[in-house]
Amino acid sequence: MEKIKLYPYQEDAVSNAVRMLSERGNSLIVAGTGAGKTIMLSSVIGRFFYGFQAAAGRKPHILVLVHRTEIHGQNFKKFSWVYPEIPVSEVTASRKSLHGYVHFGMVQTVCGLLEDFAQAGSFFDLIVIDECHHSAAATYAAIIDWNRRGKPEASLLGVTATPNRGDKVPLIHLFDNFYQITTRFLIDSHYLVRPTFIDCSPEFTLPPKKGKTSGEVLEKGHLSKNCKFDEEGYALIRKLCATYLNKKAPGKSVIFAPSHKFCEAIFAELTRLGRKPAYLSKNIPEDMRKDEIDRFEHGNADELINVDISTEGYDYPPIRNVVDFDTNGTHGQWIQKVGRGLRTCEGKTGCMVLDFGGNIDLYPQGVDTEVNLIGVVKNPREQHLSEEDLFRSHEANDKSTAEYQENPSGYEFTPYNPPQGFETVSDKHYGVVFVSCGSVHDCIILKAQGTDNTYHVFLGDKKELFAHDSGTFDDCVKKGTAWCGAIEADPARTISRLQTRLLAPEFATSALTWYGANCCICWKTWRGVIGKMTEEIQNARSLA
């Protein structure tokens, strides 16, 4: 049986998916990079396996489809670890076997074997698609349609971080429900590190648009067309590389470029500067590719340069910098790239996102996406969408996660842009709360239950909470800031062993700084008191 204890948010997602597979025959898990999609996928498969066996009196056959070797290897190894007692097999170019009950296949290989499977009567009770935003592709569609003809009652599970396709092709014909775990929730709950976005994008002056005689146009980023490979272009690349080295945080960097020629120019410049970058070149042989990745992860290379090979399915938690010279065609591509730097590891409490392609302006919604399974379909029939989002903004003007700002005159703070000195803490009952923990004063802000934009602020010293007020988030933050004073927390100071003992396992501690841990301890200390105070507030309101 399952040998791993899931985080509460993972347990909720897995339980919902298993229930939807039973009730509706399909389920989609939308989870930000770093949420543990592989673990959740494995858990759903295992629970489906044993549930099917108990109900049908036989063991099911399950097909897990991916489009990249790295994702295939991760899924195969992780499932075999979580459920070692369930026999598995692989259907790849080098291994073709249907022995066992859970079959991990590369979509290209499986698609070419459908006739052989049909002759053997090998249809599947459940098909699982990782990175299922690709499931509208012809190869996936062929496999799903083929299996439905042979086994109409078969179920379908999808997992992805970015369900909205750039071409707006809908997924509603495959999935009529989804469960979403947002990246904002994962960051604010400290399951992921908090990113700092820095816009380094150059601006280009373009000639007037066709048909116009005046009016020069300014364009940000789009280096693939605005940076030519001439003397001026190479000078710009040298300048951009210098900016990268000046802005980056200490540690490893994954660098995305719009073309291999651009990769080669970056590689040449960083090498000239005495660095030893790894580069996943075009048509690189598999053995050399592994050597370059190994040199990046364990050797003398601090940069991994690529076009898009590392966008999906590449997980190396120590990455401290995500550097993008490309201008992404879809929000999903941008999210996937940023996600490479969000995973936690020892000593890592944040990551830098250096944008040279104008992506921050293009995608102001940041690291999350509003799920739209309908795509371009009009008036869909039998539409049944359900959503479980653990922390969604209902405020249209909220900026993206973690883009902290100074407090300019007239600036309004939002839950996604609190001032420095406030830390987010996730609580099962109260949701995400905001804590400022000073040397002598404390401030705690939480949303008033049953409201959209009303918050409670609690102020106190280290002995008691003795003040309460309500208002907008901005009102509460400003009152808390005035009470606690300016707090400058050292982001490089990591959590101590004592703090870890006081917080784990109730709170995720891997991405906490020393100050963040203090805020979690502060919330843990006052949670019971605030519970009584909020109950009194609600009772008073009901009487009024």
- What is the mean pLDDT of the segment spanning 88-104? 83
d(CA 225, CA 43): 45
In the predicted structure, residue 393 carries a pLDDT above the cut 60: no
> Do residues 510 and 344 make contact, with C-beta atoms less than 8 angstroms apart?
yes
Give whole-number Cα distances, 250 to 246, 267, 297, 404, 514, in Å.
Answer: 10, 19, 15, 20, 19
Q: Of the candidates 403, 371, 406, 373, which has an alpha carbon nearest to the alpha carbon of residue 389?
A: 371
CA 212, distance to chain mean position in Å, is 43
d(CA 369, CA 178): 13
In the predicted structure, residue 407 carries a pLDDT above the cut 50: no
- What is the mean pLDDT of the segment spanning 346-366? 89
Answer with the residue of higher pLDDT: 311 or 209: 209
d(CA 535, CA 523): 17
In the predicted structure, residue 86 carries a pLDDT above the cut 90: yes
* Each residue's pLDDT tens digit, 123-178: 999 999 988 867 667 888 899 999 999 999 999 999 987 776 554 555 777 888 88
pLDDT over 70 percentage in the chain: 86
Answer with the residue of higher pLDDT: 465 or 168: 465
What's the CA dihedral at 471, 472, 473, 476 to 10 degrees?
Answer: -30
For the chain, the helix, strand and coil percentages under 3-state DSSP, each to the nearest 5: 35, 20, 45
* Each residue's pLDDT tens digit, 296-351: 999 999 999 999 765 566 789 999 999 999 999 888 888 889 989 999 988 888 89
In the predicted structure, residue 395 carries a pLDDT above the cut 90: no
d(CA 224, CA 218): 16
Handedness of CA 163, 167, 168, 172 (dihedral sign): negative
d(CA 331, CA 353): 15
| Cα distance from N-terminal residue to C-terminal residue, the chain | 53
d(CA 436, CA 423): 6
Q: Of the candidates 385, 351, 384, which has an alpha carbon nearest to the alpha carbon of residue 367?
A: 351
Q: Of the candidates 398, 399, 397, 420, which has an alpha carbon nearest to the alpha carbon of residue 491?
A: 420
Handedness of CA 33, 36, 39, 42 (dihedral sign): negative
Answer with the residue of higher pLDDT: 3 or 265: 265
pLDDT given for residue 304 in this prediction: 97
d(CA 115, CA 104): 18
Q: Of the candidates 257, 262, 260, 267, which has an alpha carbon nearest to the alpha carbon of residue 327?
A: 257
> Do residues 221 and 357 make contact, with C-beta atoms less than 8 angstroms apart?
yes
Describe the strand order of the beta sheet including 441-447 as a list of residue ranges. Answer: 423-427, 431-437, 441-447, 455-461, 465-471
Confidence label for 265 from pLDDT (cuts 50, 70 and 90): very high
* Each residue's pLDDT tens digit, 215-230: 577 899 999 999 999 9
Describe the strand order of the beta sheet including 319-324 as a list of residue ranges. Answer: 194-199, 350-355, 319-324, 252-256, 303-306, 278-279
- What is the mean pLDDT of the segment spanning 39-45? 95
Task: Give the number of other CB atoms < 10 A from CB of residue 80.
Answer: 16
Outline where 180-221 has alpha helix (H).
Answer: 183-188
For residues 10-35, one letter each, b for 16 or more C-beta atoms within 10 angstroms of the residue's C-beta and e for the rest, the string is beebbebbbebbeeeebbbbbbbbbb
Confidence label for 371 from pLDDT (cuts 50, 70 and 90): low
Q: Of the candidates 116, 115, 68, which has an alpha carbon nearest to the alpha carbon of residue 92?
A: 68
pLDDT given for residue 213 in this prediction: 57
- What is the mean pLDDT of the segment spanning 447-456? 86
In the predicted structure, residue 367 carries a pLDDT above the cut 90: no
Phi/psi of residue 89, each to 5°?
Answer: -145, 170
β-bridge partners, 288: none
pLDDT given for residue 494 in this prediction: 86
Give whole-number Cα distances, 395 to 28, 87, 365, 390, 433, in Å.
Answer: 26, 48, 12, 15, 17
d(CA 339, CA 192): 9
- What is the mean pLDDT of the segment spanning 464-490? 90
Q: What is the mean pLDDT of the chain?
A: 84
Give whole-number Cα distances, 114 to 72, 111, 138, in Å.
Answer: 19, 6, 14
In the predicted structure, residue 396 carries a pLDDT above the cut 50: no
Lowest-confidence segment of 97-111, 506-520, 530-544 by average pLDDT: 530-544
d(CA 178, CA 389): 10
Phi-psi region of 528 (alpha: psi -120 to 50; beta: other; left: phi over 0): alpha
Place of tokens 């019971």: 528
For residue 148, the SS3 value is: helix
d(CA 133, CA 141): 12
pLDDT given for residue 476 in this prediction: 93
